[in-house]
Amino acid sequence: MTTSSPPARIWRELRSAWAITKKDARIYYLRPGSIMFGILFPLFLFISFAIGRDLPAGVLVPGLMAISVFFAASSIGPMAVPTERKTKTYERMITAPVSPLSILVGEIVGGAIFGAIIAAIPLIIGIVFYGTLIVNPIGLIGVLVLVSFAFSAMGIMFAAIPTDNPGDVMMILNFIRLPLLFISGIFIPVSAMGMYGAVALISPLTYAKDMIQYVLTGTGYYGPFTDVIGMLIFTGIFLWIGVRLHERNRKSG
Amino acid sequence: MNAISVNNLTRDYGTLRAVDHISFEVESGEFFGFLGPNGAGKTTTIRMLTGLSEPSEGTASIMGCDITRDAFHAKEHFGIVPEVSNIYEDLSAWNNLMFAGELYGLSQPERTRRARELLEIFDLTGFRDKKAQGFSKGMRRKLTLAMALIHEPEILFLDEPTSGLDVQSSLLLKEILSRLNREGTTIFLTTHMLEEANTLCNRVAIIVKGRLAAVDAPEKLKKTIQTTQSVEVSLDSMTSQVTADLTAIKTVTSSRHEGDKFRLFTPDPAVVATAIFEYAQAHRLKIISINTVGPSLEDAFLSIVQRQGDSRTEGRP
């Protein structure tokens, strides 16, 4: 089977994408920027929200998991891509026989795995300290895969900003991420937002939090069908825009 | 089959035309030099040929594969060593090579075999598990070259490969490049070091202000400026009076200091050499060395660059 045959080509692209994922895991998971923006920042944000409020674990744990996966998964791409532009290692991937889509998929999966690992921390805390029960464990795995992939794709989309300084991307990304926290039913449930609840629909974090809550507790605001469709639409948008922006950057050389 | 074919390749950045309708071919197995002054379009050309940017006009192919329409297969045929050593500093030499091998679709046994071979060739075996961030400039360069060679490419693109290296590392790198070329690898080299191009390349192309000014063998390029012959002399006393007297010798067209030597340009070196001997004898000066020198690739380069620059300036409205 030569690389000219479609199955061989797809297999080859998948292997290359996986190599990029492994490389990101080795290099970027323990970088200060990833730990700061991916773990500490959302953790302190949530603690400041939760302290002094007698919230049930069924609200606390899904909210913290959603924030964790949101920040962690969307932080790896904006760390990795500008850094690699600076060191010119991104060019190494572009000059290799790997399609632009595979490069981005590799980067996205790298962020997604990081997001899923970080999301497991509040879940373990919930299970150990709050006695959280998982109503649908298989569903939880599926939800984490979908949600972390979507948010990592969002990070990669922002990583298309043509700069070689990760701080520049993080600044713009936080300008979007922080307002989303307040309209996504994390701090104030969508049901309590009244007429402003409609705003929640434009945030991917809304569906992520609702899905996580559904698989953990068996109840959600929108229901699994709407959540999955919403999440898939956002994933598609992030990928579509991300691939085009990165390709435009490459063509403009 | 030509290893590289370039046809009317053009690249615009806004209103600036960085590369202007250049066409040339590089045969398989050739050592091809791509020379030009700073900002002439060398790096832009290499970036288009390796898929890092797209041409505004024109086409190019690598081993028959179009760089735009069949980029995947075109990229399988070459390795690239950019001007900056683009290695992953947080990875060990071994993991850098493994990653490069995976990008080029090598199986685990293949990339292990190649990585071992390359570490041996580049004298990096003792550093295989060390993170690259502690490597010297020479070691980084060697690792970059090793990563470019992991898939045994038919073509190797090198952008200023010896820039900033010490003499020993530079010599080793040139030796490896020569050997690769003897073994059949086509080499496309951009360099500022004309002596490097002169000794290594079968043919060179000279690009000036985005346009190709010449494509030929170094010796043939030198012959185009055969009038630029010279006599290089070093006397035990080189006062300003002595250099003025030497410059006044009949048939000397110009002169310049080159370190402790004085170079006199002339169409007739024999006449000038005889005059220098007579002058030294008459003034009781000791000749430390005297050589007649033909035009170098540097002379040819400067002459071509100047000619091309003049013609483009004249051609402007």
Are B47 and B12 found together in one domain?
yes
Task: List the one residue out of B86, B157, B90, B151 whose CA is nearest residue A16.
Answer: B151
Residue B225 in this model has a pLDDT that exceeds 90: no
- Amino acid making up residue B135: F
CB contact under 8 A, A23 and B54: no
The strand pair at B203-208 and B31-35 is best described as: parallel
What pLDDT sits at residue A1?
44
Are B237 and B214 found together in one domain?
no
B293/B278 Cα distance (integer angstroms): 20
The whole-number average pLDDT for the span B135-154 is 94
Are B86 and B213 found together in one domain?
yes
CA dihedral B160, B310, B225, B20 (to 10 degrees): 50
**Would residue B303 count as lying in a domain?**
no
Identify which of B53, B75, B104 has the shortest CB distance to residue A251.
B53
- What residues in A contact B13, CB-CB < 8 Å? 253
- What residues in B contact A87, CB-CB < 8 Å? 84, 86, 88-89
> Out of A167-176, B144-153, B294-303, which region has the weakest mean confidence (pLDDT)?
B294-303
**Would residue B306 count as lying in a domain?**
no
For B112-121, the pLDDT digits (tens) are 999 999 999 9
Minimum CA–CA partner of A27 in chain B: B90
Minimum CA–CA partner of A23 in chain B: B99
**Would residue B317 count as lying in a domain?**
no
DSSP secondary structure, B194-212, as one string: HHHHHHH-SEEEEEETTEE
**Would residue B305 count as lying in a domain?**
no
The whole-number average pLDDT for the span B65-88 is 94
Residue with tokens 């073509």: B155
Total count of domains within chain B:
2
CA count, 13 A, side-chain hemisphere, B160: 12
Q: Does the beta carbon of B37 lie under 8 angstroms from any beta carbon of chain A?
A: no
Domain final residue, candidates B189, B206, B222? B222
The whole-number average pLDDT for the span B250-257 is 88
Pull the structure tokens for residue A10: 């797809």
Pull the structure tokens for residue B134: 């502690």
Q: pLDDT-derived band of residue B316, with 50, 70 and 90 as boundaries?
A: very low
Predicted ipTM beyond 0.85: yes
**Would residue B313 count as lying in a domain?**
no
Pull the structure tokens for residue B220: 């043939």
The CA-CA-CA angle for residues B164, B169, B175, to 5°, reads 120
Pull the structure tokens for residue B104: 């080029």
Is-contact A191 A206, C-beta < 8 A?
no
Element at A24 (helix H, strand E) = helix A6-28
- Amino acid making up residue A23: K
The strand pair at B155-159 and B186-190 is best described as: parallel
What CATH number does the domain containing B235 carry?
Answer: 3.30.70.2470
B246/B257 Cα distance (integer angstroms): 12
CA count, 13 A, side-chain hemisphere, B263: 14
Are B128 and B94 found together in one domain?
yes
Are B117 and B252 found together in one domain?
no
What pLDDT sits at residue B268?
85
The three-class DSSP label of residue B102 is helix
**Would residue B217 count as lying in a domain?**
yes
Residue B176 exposed, middle or buried by CB count within 10 Å (0-12, 13-18, 19+): middle
Task: List the one residue out of B43, B278, B305, B196 whose CA is nearest residue A91.
Answer: B43
Residue B162 in this model has a pLDDT that exceeds 90: no
First CA to last CA across chain A, in angstroms? 34
Are B62 and B181 found together in one domain?
yes
CB contact under 8 A, B52 and A98: no
Sign for the pseudo-dihedral over CA of A93, A97, A98, A100: positive
Buried b (16+ CB within 10 A) or exposed e, B116-133: eebbebbebeebeeeebe
Is-contact A80 A32, C-beta < 8 A?
no
What pLDDT sits at residue B310?
65
Is-contact B52 B210, C-beta < 8 A?
no
What pLDDT sits at residue B226?
62
A216/A138 Cα distance (integer angstroms): 11
What pLDDT sits at residue A122?
85
Identify which of B48, B53, B75 has the shortest CB distance to residue A97.
B75
Q: Look up the domain containing B119 and give its range.
A: 2-222
What pLDDT sits at residue B180?
94
What pLDDT sits at residue A4?
65
Are B261 and B171 found together in one domain?
no
For B85-110, the pLDDT digits (tens) are 999 999 999 999 999 999 999 999 99
B161/B296 Cα distance (integer angstroms): 22
Residue B169 exposed, middle or buried by CB count within 10 Å (0-12, 13-18, 19+): middle
Helix and strand numbers, DSSP H then E, in chain A: 10, 0
Give, as one character, the DSSP assignment of residue B4.
Answer: E
- Amino acid making up residue A111: G
Is-contact B104 B150, C-beta < 8 A?
yes
CA count, 13 A, side-chain hemisphere, A116: 18
For residue A51, give every residue at least 6 positions away whose Cβ sits within 8 Å of its Cβ, in sequence order, or none: none
CB contact under 8 A, B51 and A19: no
Domain final residue, candidates B177, B193, B222? B222
Are B183 and B254 found together in one domain?
no
User: How high is the mean pLDDT in each 10-residue block of chain A (253 residues)?
Assistant: 74 94 92 80 77 75 90 93 94 94 95 92 85 88 96 96 92 92 84 83 93 91 93 96 91 76
Are B137 and B236 found together in one domain?
no
**Would residue B316 count as lying in a domain?**
no
A114/A219 Cα distance (integer angstroms): 27
What pLDDT sits at residue B313?
55
Sheet holding B2-13, edge to edge: B16-27, B2-13, B57-62, B65-66
CB contact under 8 A, B73 and A97: yes
Give, as one character, the DSSP assignment of residue B285.
Answer: P
What pLDDT sits at residue A103?
95
What pLDDT sits at residue B96?
97
Are B236 and B125 found together in one domain?
no
B159/B307 Cα distance (integer angstroms): 25
Closest Cα of chain A to B257: distance in Å? Answer: 41
Are B235 and B218 found together in one domain?
no
Percent of chain B exceeding pLDDT 90 equals 60
Closest Cα of chain A to B251: distance in Å? Answer: 51
> Out of B16-25, B69-78, B90-99, B162-171, which region has the weakest mean confidence (pLDDT)?
B162-171
**Would residue B66 count as lying in a domain?**
yes
The whole-number average pLDDT for the span B125-137 is 93
Are B213 and B235 found together in one domain?
no
